[in-house]
Structure 1
Amino acid sequence: MGAELLEFAFHEDAVLDTSRILVLRQSLGDQRCREVIEEVVYHLTDRMNLLQAALERGDPAEAQLLASRLASLSEQVGLPDFARISRDLCQCLHVDDRVATAAVAARLVRLSEDSLFSVMLYADQSAL
């Protein structure tokens, strides 16, 4: 009798607070809004890479600083779940819970790609 292999799909859909993008669009105009969102997405991507590197080399202080910055940036473009999970990671790092840190960091990585793609797609489509 052989063992059965189960696969779990670990995917979370991004939650997008479109009101944040609408506020940006109303205050900045379409073109500048897209530019700001592109810039924030670039910074989020860069900080995600830096965060992963800090975690891999065992630098919790740097990782906590980066996770805090991720939370702040993601709120600006309407990514509340991304921001909340980033804050959760800050807390895990603060209390030095390595198991929780690994789990929450993995969740943040899984959510990041869909979140960043969603905000860019929405910003482009809503400008039409």
Structure 2
Amino acid sequence: MSDRVIRITAQESALVDTSAVVGLQQSVGTLRCQEMVEDAIYQITERLAKLERAEREQDYETASEIAHVLVELTNRIGLPRMSVVATDLADVLRLGDTIAISAICARLIRLGEDSLFTLVRLGGDGV
């Protein structure tokens, strides 16, 4: 029997890619950028709560769908570390490794909270 090994990238880069947020602000304007950031914060928060529930209930199909949406959302709004961890989660969900799923979900939720608080503080400084 051979076990599959997935390499999980543990990076310690910035929580928020400010250049992505500044680029968004320059392309759509300050007010629209703030609206988009606020909307993304809401969507990510909602999905993290649903992910936590799906993992607790072992609803891995829903968790996988949420992980893929989180990859898209976090890439769009400049949260690279969250995107990497959401990708790691999608990978282990595909393999069905319940221990890794629980660990990575917990990490994604903690990182999500930290990232969103950082994004809110950044937004409070005029994005």
Q: TM-score range by the shorter chain?
A: 0.7 to 0.9
TM-score (normalizing by structure 2): 0.86
Task: Name structure 1 gaps, 5 residues minimum.
Answer: 1-11
> What root-mean-square deviation, in Å, do the aligned CA atoms of Structure 1 and Structure 2 show?
1.5
Distance 1:105 1:113 in 2: 12
| Conserved 8 A contact 2:13-2:81 | no
Distance 2:79 2:105 in 1: 16
Count, aligned residues: 116
- Which residue does 1:59 correspond to in 2? 59
Distance 1:23 1:14 in 2: 17
- Which residue does 1:82 correspond to in 2? 82
Q: Rate the CA distance shift 1:115–1:13 in 2: closer, same or farther, 3 A.
A: farther
The one-letter code of the counterpart of 2:117 is F
1:38 aligns with 2:27: no
Distance 2:20 2:120 in 1: 13
Q: CA deviation at 1:71?
A: 1.2
Distance 1:124 1:29 in 2: 16
- For the residue of structure 2 that corresponds to 1:58, the secondary structure is coil
1:124 aligns with 2:124: yes
Q: CA deviation at 1:77?
A: 1.1
Q: CA deviation at 1:124?
A: 2.6
Which runs of 4 or more aligned residues in structure 1 lie more than 6 Å from their structure 2 counterparts after TM superposition? none
**Percent identity of paired positions between Structure 1 and Structure 2:** 36
- Which residue does 1:109 correspond to in 2? 109
Deviation string 1:22-71 (CA, Å, 9 cap, x unpaired) is 11100111111000000000000000011111111111111000011111
| Conserved 8 A contact 1:14-1:111 | no
Q: Rate the CA distance shift 1:111–1:14 in 2: closer, same or farther, 3 A.
A: farther
- Which residue does 1:49 correspond to in 2? 49
Pair member with larger Rg: 1
TM-score (normalizing by structure 1): 0.85
Task: Name structure 2 gaps, 5 residues minimum.
Answer: 1-11
| Conserved 8 A contact 1:17-1:79 | yes
